[in-house]
Amino acid sequence: MNKKDLRVNAINMLKSQSEIKRKQIEEELTEQLIHSTFWENAAVIGITMAQGFEWDTKSIIEIAWAQGKEVCVPKCSPQDKLLNFYKITSFNELEVVYYNLLEPIPEKTESVLKEQIDLLMVPGLLFDREGFRVGFGGGYYDRFLANFPNTTVSLLCEEQLVSQLPKESFDIPVEYLITEKNIINTIR
């Protein structure tokens, strides 16, 4: 199956989950994350504002703030397909942009260099046990990860974990996969 078909199937699977099941999985993912050593050791968290069928990140951001961590959220630059992260201290510093994405308002926020992000939460639709993923198809994260020096992690349910995915030369694996059951370390 090609990446486009895999994307469609994964989105349909995620959308078909009951609200009760989703909430339970989200709670388990959050607990696994915030009790991990890489979370505890991180002062600056890079994370997207999830929407729709994606795993909720709003509560994770609120926990980070409550623990005194800095939170930075990406802004996409469609012309060059790059991500730029900005520190947010309130959800009021976000605006709705194309595709209904919530992104930081640059004039109200502070730019953060990729080296300053201790822990980067990488979104995706499907993952294999080596940390490779099928994302949303824009290549934004693959470009950002190309020389990212710190820890990467993704949140996913067991159903998003597959035995094999098509890989391309520019694909960069995520170091840790957090499912509702465990944390998978993909680093060799």
Stretch 44-50: mean pLDDT: 96
**pLDDT higher than threshold 80 for residue 93:** yes
Give the per-residue pLDDT at 98. 76
User: 105 near 144, Cβ under 8 Å?
Assistant: no
Q: What is the pLDDT of residues 105-141, one digit of tens each?
A: 999 999 999 999 999 999 999 999 999 999 887 788 9
Give the per-residue pLDDT at 117. 98
**pLDDT higher than threshold 80 for residue 99:** no
Distances (CA, A) of 169 to 13, 38, 72, 136, 143: 27, 27, 28, 17, 12
Percent of all residues in the chain with a pLDDT value above 90, rounded to a whole number:
70
Measured from the Cβ of residue 36, the count of other Cβ atoms closer than 10 Å reads 17
Pick from 15, 34, 27, 14: which is nearest to 126 by CA?
14
Percent of all residues in the chain with a pLDDT value above 70, rounded to a whole number:
99
138's torsion region: left (phi>0), alpha (psi -120 to 50) or beta? Answer: alpha
Phi and psi at residue 111, to the nearest 5°: -65, 145
Give the per-residue pLDDT at 188. 60
Q: Are strands 126-127 and 133-134 parallel, antiparallel or unpaired?
A: antiparallel
For 3-7, 42-46, 109-113, which range has the lowest pLDDT when averaged over its residues?
3-7
Give the per-residue pLDDT at 7. 83
**pLDDT higher than threshold 80 for residue 1:** no
Place of tokens 């094999």: 164
**pLDDT higher than threshold 70 for residue 49:** yes
**pLDDT higher than threshold 70 for residue 92:** yes
pTM score, two decimals? 0.93
Give the per-residue pLDDT at 4. 82
